[in-house]
Copies of this chain bind each other. A is one copy, B any other.
Amino acid sequence: MARVVVDVMLKPEILDPQGRAVQGALGRLGLTGVADVRLGKQFIITIDGDVAGERLEQLHALAAELLSNPVIENYVLRVEADA
């Protein structure tokens, strides 16, 4: 049983209006010095068996095409051994 975490984030050059809204709200609620807020998605995939070799490649391909939009988003994939 492996746990695969995929973080999907808008590319730095893409404007993030949701993050901007959160940044404004944090300021209004009294938190000072907030320079930037970016809002992304996190997928936690629990998968039977080992994740390596071909299966890991398959996961990377799916993360790049299904879980993220490669035009505007980057993804980071990490495998955590135990679920």
Q: Which residues of A contact B (CB under 8 A)?
A: 1, 7, 9, 19, 22, 25-26, 29-31, 33-49, 55, 58-59, 62, 66-67, 83
Contact = CB atoms under 8 A, between A and B. Distances in A.
Contact of A34 (B19, B26, B38, B45): B45
Given A7-B42, A31-B58, A35-B48, 17 more contacts: A9-B42, A9-B44, A26-B66, A29-B62, A33-B47, A33-B48, A33-B49, A34-B45, A34-B46, A34-B47, A35-B46, A36-B44, A37-B45, A39-B41, A39-B43, A39-B44, A40-B43
A46 B42 contact: no
Contact of A26 (B7, B40, B45): B45
A23 to B, nearest CB: 8
A48 B34 CA distance: 6
